[in-house]
Structure 1
């Protein structure tokens, strides 16, 4: 009987620790159900490096996350939906850019605020976007040069 009690207690401890990890992971990824946010949409020419769950930052501070991404077959652009905390009012002339944390870091979506006194409403579309820049293509331009530059110099 004493063995059964110790096994039950050990099992309860394991379940409690596992539940704690699940709650911590949900909080870390922003998947908690109690967050108040609103959604905005945007269309990127290139959305390399971001996925659902990627951070949305304003002045380096996380204010939301990417909630969905899909290819628009009519425009061949990446349609993206982001959620932003309700406490953050985004001016309606703001832009979104896909930025990098560094050479080896990941990408995130950056809100570049405008100066308009009007703000986006839930469900609005952000028109001004800047897609991700391929580091490989930049290096190729730097290392290999561009043939049009050589022709213009002659």
Structure 2
């Protein structure tokens, strides 16, 4: 009887830890049923490092996440749809950029608010965008030198 009781207690503890882990994982990835959100969209020339679930931040604070990203066959740009928490009003002259947390950090979508007194409606596309910058291409320009600057000097 004692052996059976021990197995039940250990099994219950394992189950409790598993449930706790699932709740934590759901909150960390944004899968929890948090507050209400509305969607906005943007089109980028390059969206390297952005995937479904990537954070959307404003002033360094997470305010949403990327919900869809696909190639627009008409413009050959990355069409991105992202959600923003209700209650956060984005001015209609705002910009959106793909930023990096550092040399080895991850990528996130950054909302750069404008100064307009009018706000974006749900479903609106943000026109002012800045795509991701490739670290490799920047290093190649730095190491290889800028050919245009050398030609202009001659």
TM-score greater than 0.5 by the shorter chain: yes
Number of residue pairs the alignment of both structures matches: 154
Match for residue 141 of structure 2?
Answer: 141
Q: Secondary structure at the match of 2:51?
A: coil
Give me the whole-angstrom Cα distance separating, in 1, the residues matched to 2:76 and 2:19: 42
What is residue 98 of structure 2 aligned with on the other side? 98
Shift of the alpha carbon at 1:145? 1.4
For residues 58 and 135 of structure 2, the distance between their equivalents in structure 1, rounded to whole angstroms, comes to: 23
Deviation at 1:3, TM superposition (A): 2.0
* 1:4-153 equivalences in 2 (<5 Å): 4-153=4-153
Structure 2 residue matching 1:66: 3-state secondary structure: strand
**1:146 CA displacement:** 2.5
With over 3 angstroms needed to count, the CA separation of the structure-2 counterparts of 1:9 and 1:73, relative to structure 1, is same
Structure 1 residues without counterparts, runs of 5 or longer: none
Runs of at least 4 residues off by over 3 Å = none
CA distance in 2, matches of 1:8, 1:66: 42
Give per-residue Cα distances to partners, 1:97-128, cap 9 Å, x unaligned: 01111111111111000011111111111111
> What SS does structure 2 have at the residue aligned with 1:38?
strand
Q: Report the alpha carbon displacement of residue 35 of structure 1 after superposing the two structures with TM.
A: 2.3
Give the whole-Å Cα distance in 2 for the aligned partners of 1:148 and 1:90.
39
Q: Compute the displacement of 1:40 (Å).
A: 0.4
Tell me, in whole angstroms, the C-alpha distance in 2 between the residues paired with 1:8 and 1:121: 54
Q: Give the TM-score normalised by the residue count of structure 1.
A: 0.95
| CA distance in structure 1 between the aligned counterparts of 2:114 and 2:148, rounded to whole angstroms | 36
Give TM-score, length-normalised by structure 2: 0.95
Over aligned residues, Cα RMSD in angstroms? 1.1
